[in-house]
Structure formats: C-alpha cells, structure tokens
Amino acid sequence: MNEVATTRHALGLTQTELATILGLHYVTICRWENGHMEPKPWVLAIFDRFRIAARVADVGGRMARVLAARGPIAAMYLGLAASYGRTPKTIERDLSSSAEAP
C-alpha cells in the first residue's frame, strides 16, 4: 500500500471523500494509489500535514463526519489544524463558531 492509501485509511476516508476534500475527482486518488500518476507538489504538502494529523488521537474518522456535516473546507481545516497541534476539541469549537457567524 502506498503513502496516499495509508494516509487515507488512517484518516478513515474513502477515495471519494478524500477527493472531495482536495477538490479532485475520485479517479485521481485511485490513480495515485495504483501508481499510475504521481500527486502534484501542492498535494504532497497537504499529505505531509494529513499524515501528522492522522497520528493525532481522534482525528481519524472525524474528517469523514466533518466532511458530511460541514463540507470539504471544514474537513481540510480539521486535518491541517490538527497537524499543527490544535486539539480536536478546539477545532470542533472553531468550526462551530464559524458556522454561527453571519
């Protein structure tokens, strides 16, 4: 299993969910995982952060729930914020307050 698939599984995401978060088609994720294509540098940078986030307790599985409830930008925020040391509880509070803002 390659790094894309390993990270995706650690985050509890399907190929379609990861593609939605990144703004890509799920076939692109499939091609990366099968070794038919290489991710662009900007995607690799995000994956570096997501790999760190995957090690944070409680982030795996939350991204799919946040994606379903709040959309891809919120899920991306969860992954990136967790990778920089924000706790999942603090991130949830951030997301809740941003949803309440006009």
Residue by residue, what is the 3-state secondary structure of 6-51?
Answer: HHHHHCCCCHHHHHHHHCCCHHHHHHHHHCCCCCCHHHHHHHHHHH
Q: Average of pLDDT values for 91-101?
A: 73
On whether the pTM is more than 0.85, the answer is: no
pLDDT in tens, 46-93: 988 888 888 876 777 788 888 888 889 888 988 888 888 888 778 878
Question: Using 50, 70 and 90 to split pLDDT, how confident is the model at 41?
Answer: very high
pLDDT at 55: 81
pLDDT at 86: 85
